Amino acid sequence: MVGQAISHHEEEANDRVMFGFWVYLMTDLLMFAVLFAVYAVLHRNTVGGESGHELFSLPLALSGTLLLLTSSFTVGIAMIAARRGNKAQTLLWFGVTFALGLAFLCLELWEFSTLIGEGHTMQTNAFLSSFFVLLGTHGIHIIFGLLWMGITITYIMKRGLNSNMVRKLSMLSLFWHFLDIVWIFIFTIVYLGAFV
């Protein structure tokens, strides 16, 4: 691991915490399931307004997808470095992940503001309500992830890398991977689905 032996007690605790976090991620997935179900049922209710076909930009969605996918890859590299105890590499790759995540967030915020500027708000119709809430919930999770990443990076810079930190980083990277997985389905069902 990080080169130091940890006690059996601590290893058991680690295992428990990771499992508990995994179960939490499953509950988060179920919340998204409700939002997906609502989108699936309501996305045709535009009350005569524009549908996704007219409003979405596939190249924009693809760019966001690529940013997030790459960030999921880089967070994996960061974790390999962390488990080897390499503080510099860990900070570097988490930094790259952060930047990519931030870029994704900016892209999404730009898309939202454009739509809202054109008068397509969540109050317009059921389709837009479900679009904004689904993507918005994902976006809020991204914000939380970035916040978590920022605080953790700062902490590592000041206090260094130890086995406790590696466990926290494992949870963070799990969270980040999970957000990319949810995005696959948003990209497919919301964006690609609008043009089918």
Partner 1 sequence: MSQAHEQNDEHGSMQSYVVGFLLSLLFTFIPYIMVVNQTFTGTKLLVTIICFAMVQLVIQVTFFLHLGRGPKPKWNLYFFISTIGVVAFVVGGSIFIMNNLHYNMSPSDKLKKIANDEGIYQVGGKATGACQGQHANHKVTIKNSAVSPLQTDADKCDTLTIINEDDYEREIAFGVHPYHDVYAGETELVIRPGKSKTITLSEAGTFSFHDHLQPETSGKFTVSE
Partner 2 sequence: MKEFLVGKLTWDSLPHEWTTIGGTFTIIVTGIIISVVLTRTKRWKWLWNDWLTSVDPKKIGIMYFIAGGVMLLRGGLDALMIWLQQALSSGDSQGYLSSQHFQEIFTAHGNIMVFFVAMAFVFGLINYIVPLQIGARDLASPLLNTLGFWLFIGGIIMVNMFFVFGGEYAATGWLAVAPLSGKEFSPGVGVDYWIWSLMISGVGTTLGAINFIMTILKMRAPGMTLMKMPLFTWGSLCSMMMAVTIFPLLTATLFLVYFDRALGTHFFTTVGGGDPMMYTNLIWMWGHPEVYVLILPAFGVFSEVVSTFSRKAIASYKSAVWGMIGVSAFALSVWMHHFFTMGAGADVNAFFGVMTMVIAIPTSVLVFNWIATMYKGRIRFETPMLWFLGFMAVFTIGGVSGVMLAVPPIDFQLHNSLFLVAHFHSTVIGGVLFGVFCALSYWFPKFTGFRLNERLGRYAFWCWIVGFCMSFIPMYVLGFMGASRRLDHYDASTGWQPLFILMLIGGIVIAIGVALQVAQILASFIQKKHLLDTTGGDPWDGRSLEWSTPSPPPFYNFVSIPQVSGRDAYWEMKNHTLPKQAYEDIHMPKSTGVGIYISIFGTLASFAFVWDIIWLIVVSLVAIIVIFVIRGFSEDSEYIIPAHEVQRLEEARIAKSPLAINTYEGNSTDEDMGLRELIMVVYKFVMDIIKNKRWKKW
Chain contacts with partner 2 (rule: CB under 8 A)? 9, 12, 15-17, 19-20, 23-24, 26-28, 30-35, 37-38, 41-42, 45-47, 122-127, 129-130, 132-133, 147, 151, 155, 164, 168
Residue 152 in contact with residue 75, Cβ under 8 Å?
no
What does the alpha-carbon distance between residue 19 and residue 195 come to, in Å, rounded to a whole number? 39
Q: Which does 83 bind (CB under 5 to 8 A by kind): partner 1, partner 2, none?
A: partner 1
Q: How far is CA 107 from CA 34, 62, 63, 195, in A?
A: 25, 11, 9, 20
DSSP for residue 191 = I
Binding site for partner 1 (CB under 8 A): 1, 5-8, 11, 19, 22-23, 26, 29-30, 33-34, 36-38, 40-41, 58, 62, 65-66, 69-70, 72-73, 76-77, 79-80, 83-84, 174, 177, 180-181, 184-185, 187-189, 192-193, 195-196
Indicate the residue among 34 and 99 with the shorter CB distance to partner 1: 34
Own/partner pairs, 7-10, CB within 8 angstroms, 24+ separation: 10/163
